[in-house]
Amino acid sequence: MTAFTAPPEWSGTSSDPNDEQFGHVVERATLSSANEFDALLLGEPYDGAVIGRQGAADGPDAIRESLAGVKSHHFDAGPVSGIGDLGDVALPAAGGVEAVQDAVAETTAAVHETDALPVFLGGDNSLTVANVRPLLDSGSVGVVNFDAHLDCRELPDDGPTSGTPYRQLFEAGLDAYAPIGVRHFETSTAYHDYLRERGGEVVTAEELGEDVVAAVDRALDGLGDVDHVYVSVDVDVLDATAAPGASAPTPGGPTTRELYRALRLVASDDRVAGFEVVETAPPLDDDDGRTVDAAARAIAHFLAGWSA
């Protein structure tokens, strides 16, 4: 059953009438009005599958609040516009992680059927399964995942976690996977080997820092000629100093500037069929909301690259 909570009213925060912000250009949307927009936001306030620190259920509201105050202009792409907000996906009242994934996938399938680009505001990484799975029914799919980890753990007996989405997706028919920004000493050999056996293209944080363009080219080349490209950002891809409010922050990651440039490059691929930002946990953030702000601007940069 497709269901949403009501989207918020967006408004800008600046007193300067010349300051057009995302708060001025994002409009409330419904599925019936979806085709009037270029991109659609959908919140996924869920963190029931997090392996470590919870708090990502508060991510969608906090990201919206931060994004509302971000100016809409990009120097190369111009102003970003045409964005609708569907509100938050309605989560089932009971059931484990797999039941939540199945229920949310019914809603995300309806969003994918519109002409607009789906932009999912997480929430934890387990709902990547629900966000990508509907695409598997409409052609070959590859995922570019900006993440410190591979997230292809074996499924525990008690069900999926935020560390299992790409194993689940491979089992469901995912064709290609290219994680960017992964850290040395954060992944077990068994999971590295699992991904290599499936042709995954691993791009480390060091490689991203050395040459952003080459790193993105390697990742996209690693997807081959898939029909659809889905792009995911786990905010823990950023160095822990830039994203202390991630569910699993780690040192050794890229800067926000490196991430944003990479996102604009990936977004320009004309096969892009969806985007998400996950694992932003506002209760774990610093007092300045550094992680939330980084996540909000990741959305802005991606949309600028996609619309350019």
Model confidence at 2: pLDDT above 70: no
Is residue 148 within 8 Å of residue 190, measured between CB atoms? Answer: no
Q: Which fold has domain 22-307?
A: Arginase; Chain A (3.40.800)
Specify the pLDDT at position 153.
Answer: 96
Q: Nearest-CA neighbor of 161 among 129, 190, 198, 187?
A: 129
Residues in CB range of 75: below 8 A, 6 or more apart: none
Q: Where are the chain's structural domains?
A: 22-307
The mean per-residue pLDDT over the stretch 293-303 comes to: 98
Model confidence at 200: pLDDT above 80: yes
Task: Read off the pLDDT band of 94 (50, 70, 90).
Answer: confident
Q: What φ, ψ does residue 139 adopt, rounded to 5°?
A: 135, -175
The mean per-residue pLDDT over the stretch 72-90 comes to: 96
Looking at the whole model, is its pTM more than 0.85? Answer: yes
The mean per-residue pLDDT over the stretch 232-255 comes to: 97
Task: Read off the pLDDT band of 1 (50, 70, 90).
Answer: low
Q: Nearest-CA neighbor of 131 among 157, 97, 99, 169?
A: 169
Is residue 237 within 8 Å of residue 250, measured between CB atoms? Answer: no
Task: Read off the pLDDT band of 308 (50, 70, 90).
Answer: confident
Mean pLDDT of the chain: 96
Instruction: List pLDDT tens digits, range 30-64.
Output: 999 999 999 999 999 999 999 889 999 999 999 99
